[in-house]
Each structure stands twice: as structure tokens, then as C-alpha cells.
């Protein structure tokens, strides 16, 4: 036969069960909150890695564009000199010793002057090319700089240029960037 509990003891037992339930719910809530925080950090890390990889590709593409323009100038006019390709009368002159934009637009490679060393944001067109025509804003900005040989500076030879391609994008309140540099030579 079970002993009959007094009313006072019954209330104490019922109250103790409610406290246990509240503690269990608190622990469960904190566990879920931890999982949400870890998941959001994983997602933001994945997004940053995606953007950094895309910026690396766009920076390499900037260097490849300079190489393609140089080579197409050589093919179009075999008599052209290396210095003429990077003079102000040729497409790469916009980038000589200053920042410029460079993209594939309208079926051809084009360079674009940057104002105060700030270039326009790249857009993605319907064919997947990144250029300066406003369609889908990517948030990436690419600047290309071509450093020419300087007689007072022995770092570059007369038939050599240094191409620096920098791609920047915003992450929250900070700006991130990827910079690639390559030396190109007058191979003709």
C-alpha cells in the first residue's frame, strides 16, 4: 500500500518537476543556439572562399587579357615593336604606369581608364563574360597596371613589362582584394 503524501509534499514534488523541465529546455535551447552559430560561420566562410576564388580567377583573367592584346597586336602587325604596343596610341596605353580597367566587351578586348585609380564594378553579361556593361552586378572591381621599363630603374628590361591585376570586393564593412603580378616579354 502506498503512503499518502500530504498536500504540502505533493506541491513540492510538482514544483521540482517544473524546475527540471525549465532547466532541460534551457540546455536544449543553448545547444540549438550553438549549432545555429556554427552553421552561420560555416556559411559565411564558404561565401568568403567562393568570392576569394572568383577574385583570383578575375585577377588572372586581367593578366591574360593583357597577354591576348599583346599577342593579337603582334599577329596583326608583325613589324610592330614591343614599345609601340604599350604606347598611348595602342589599346594597352591606358594601363601604362597607371591603373585601368580591362574586359571583354562587344566581341573584343577593351581597356578603360579609371578615375582617381578607381575602376568600375564588373558585371556579368548573359554569355557569362565579366565586363563593364550593366547587367548583373558582381561586386568585384578589377584594376590592371602595366609597369614599363624605366631607364633609372634596373628592375625591368626594355623588352619587359610587369602586369599587376588587382580584384577587390566588399565583405561586410571591410574590403578584400587579390593581387597577381606577372612579367611579360616581347617575344617577337
User: What is the pTM (predicted TM-score) of this model?
Assistant: 0.74
CA nearest neighbour of 111 among 125, 140, 90, 133: 90
As a whole number of angstroms, the distance between CA 172 and CA 121 comes to 17
As a whole number of angstroms, the distance between CA 142 and CA 119 comes to 7
Q: Where are the beta strands (DSSP E) in 2-159?
A: 99-105, 108-113, 121-124, 130-131, 136-147
Which residue has 596583326 as its cell numbers?
A: 76
Q: Please tell me the predicted confidence (pLDDT) of residue 60.
A: 94
Which residue has 596605353 as its cell numbers?
A: 93
Q: Please tell me the predicted confidence (pLDDT) of residue 162.
A: 92
As a whole number of angstroms, the distance between CA 89 and CA 77 comes to 14
Residue-level pLDDT, tens digit, the chain, 188 residues: 566 655 555 555 555 677 888 888 899 898 888 888 888 888 888 888 989 998 999 899 889 988 988 888 888 888 888 888 888 788 788 788 888 888 776 667 777 777 766 677 777 777 667 766 666 667 888 888 888 877 666 688 878 889 999 998 988 889 999 999 999 988 76
Residue pair 96/146 in contact by the 8 Å Cβ criterion? yes
Residues 6+ apart with CB under 8 A from 55: 140, 167, 168, 169, 176, 177, 178
Domain map (residue ranges) of the chain: 31-185
Q: Please tell me the predicted confidence (pLDDT) of residue 122.
A: 75
Amino acid at each position: 500500500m502506498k503512503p499518502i503524501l500530504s498536500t504540502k509534499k505533493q506541491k513540492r514534488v510538482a514544483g521540482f518537476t517544473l524546475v527540471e523541465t525549465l532547466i532541460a529546455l534551457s540546455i536544449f535551447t543553448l545547444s540549438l543556439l550553438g549549432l545555429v552559430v556554427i552553421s552561420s560561420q560555416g556559411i559565411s566562410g564558404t561565401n568568403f572562399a567562393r568570392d576569394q576564388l572568383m577574385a583570383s580567377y578575375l585577377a588572372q583573367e586581367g593578366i591574360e587579357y593583357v597577354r591576348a592584346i599583346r599577342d593579337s597586336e603582334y599577329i596583326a602587325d608583325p613589324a610592330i615593336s614591343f614599345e609601340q604596343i604599350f604606347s598611348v596610341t595602342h589599346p594597352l596605353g591606358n594601363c601604362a604606369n597607371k591603373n585601368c580597367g580591362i574586359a571583354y566587351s562587344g566581341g573584343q578586348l577593351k581597356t578603360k581608364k579609371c578615375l582617381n585609380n578607381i575602376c568600375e564594378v564588373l558585371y556579368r553579361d548573359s554569355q557569362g563574360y565579366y565586363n563593364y556593361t550593366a547587367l548583373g552586378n558582381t561586386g568585384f572591381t578589377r584594376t590592371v597596371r602595366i609597369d614599363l621599363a624605366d631607364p633609372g630603374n634596373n628592375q625591368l628590361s626594355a623588352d619587359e613589362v610587369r602586369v599587376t591585376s588587382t580584384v577587390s570586393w566588399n565583405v561586410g564593412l571591410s574590403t578584400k582584394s587579390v593581387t597577381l603580378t606577372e612579367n611579360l616579354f616581347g617575344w617577337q
